[in-house]
Structure 1
């Protein structure tokens, strides 16, 4: 009697459990369209805040000649490489969706 229960558990139950959780892991690892929209919105917000910081730093530097910007500068090419890479990826993604 125990063999009749053990055989279906081994050949049906165990693969079902494994495949069930493999499917769960695969779907959990992907990013949803809502997540992508949120990331795009956050990226645009970060760009606007960066532009505002540049403006504030320019105003402070105009009032105080000894002021040195303590952060990454927008006009240095080396500082803009990661931003350009991200913008290229976003443009490529939008091109693929169209």
Structure 2
């Protein structure tokens, strides 16, 4: 009777289990490859912050150019 259970167990371990494991990790990989809603929101916030900082830096450079014309050569 134990011989009858041995064959399905071997088939399961050789065919079913590897395919199951492969599909499991493929699904996990696909999920991890996409951005979640929180990640997209955070990326959007970071993009907005970077844009604001870029605008502020431009404004500061304009002010420095007007008030201290040689500041760029001193910074190098």
TM-score over 0.5 (shorter chain): yes
TM-score category, normalised to shorter length: 0.7 to 0.9
The superposition leaves residues 46-98 of structure 1 with CA deviations (integer Å, 9 ceiling, x where unpaired) of 1111111011111110012234499xxxxxxxxxxxxxxxxxxxxxxxxxxxx
SS at match of 1:47: helix
Q: What is the match of residue 49 of structure 1?
A: 53
- TM-score w.r.t. the length of structure 2 is 0.78
Q: Which has the higher helix share?
A: 2
CA RMSD after TM alignment: 1.9
The whole-number CA distance in structure 2 between the counterparts of 1:4 and 1:39 is 50
In terms of Rg, which structure is larger? Answer: 2
Q: Which of residues 56, 65, 71 is equivalent to 1:61?
A: 65
